[in-house]
Chain A
């Protein structure tokens, strides 16, 4: 079994997912949380690609494209919210203040 096998790619995906989750849970900065989510999404994408490579099917890349569009939409909305919060008098980007509804 060569090193560049889907199983090893899955291992990498697992690692990335765990690291991304660590970031989401531990960071308080909204921007950094969003970035960690991107890492998690990429881990999922890698898992799909690896599965596609395992079965030598293009479906893995199809799913990757879906994740890509999901990530794009998520980033757009997330960043818009961050900008909004920032301009609404919460310049700290502190996720823990997100429960205050009024700006």
Chain B
């Protein structure tokens, strides 16, 4: 009974992920990606990580994906783009990548098979925000610093790349 959400969310995530990579309209793909993220948040919840689940929704689905939507809106893609996208997705294109991904899947699944089953920790008591925070600002404070450096670097480089070169307001080089 308690496994039902997990299975449900997993199935939704898997299906939606496949939908993402096969959509021709960027916004549709984005919406499916949001669905992937939301159902992954559900999976996190089922795995006893409510804090991660909420952050996944707030930051990933709520902020990063909106950024994607925002960019798509700025690009103002039209019908011609959709047609070109369809053209690019000819069946022949998929053979090589599908082969590679399939191999990867097989290899990884083989590895997973070797993992001994976990009987002890089936209780899945949730790990709350407090313990994560204590860990983050205790032994992992250096990685928090590194993450903030990374974000700063991202901020600066995004600002630099997107800067307005000739003051035209359009970003034309």
Contacts and interface: CB of A to CB of B under 8 A. Distances in A.
> Do chains A and B make direct contact within the complex (CB under 8 angstroms)?
yes
Contacts of B84: 92
Given A22-B101, A62-B135, A9 B43 contact: yes
A3 interface: yes
Contacts of B60: 38, 42, 68, 71
Contact of A53 (B21, B37, B48, B108): B48
Interface residues of A, number: 76
A55 B93 CA distance: 41
Given A7-B117, A49-B44, A22 B21 contact: yes
A84 B36 CA distance: 28
A58 to B, nearest CB: 4
Nearest to A91: B75
A16 B14 CA distance: 6
Given A31-B71, A65-B55, A11 B121 contact: no
13 contacts: A8-B6, A9-B10, A18-B102, A27-B89, A31-B26, A46-B43, A61-B52, A61-B132, A64-B55, A68-B56, A69-B147, A77-B157, A83-B171
Interface of B: 2-3, 5-7, 10, 13-14, 17-18, 20-21, 23, 26, 29-30, 33, 36-37, 40, 43-44, 46-49, 51-52, 55-56, 59-60, 63-64, 67-68, 71-72, 74-75, 81, 84-85, 88-89, 93-94, 96-98, 100-102, 104-105, 108-109, 112, 115, 117-119, 121-122, 124-125, 127, 131-132, 134-136, 140, 143, 147-148, 150-151, 153-155, 157-159, 161-162, 170-173
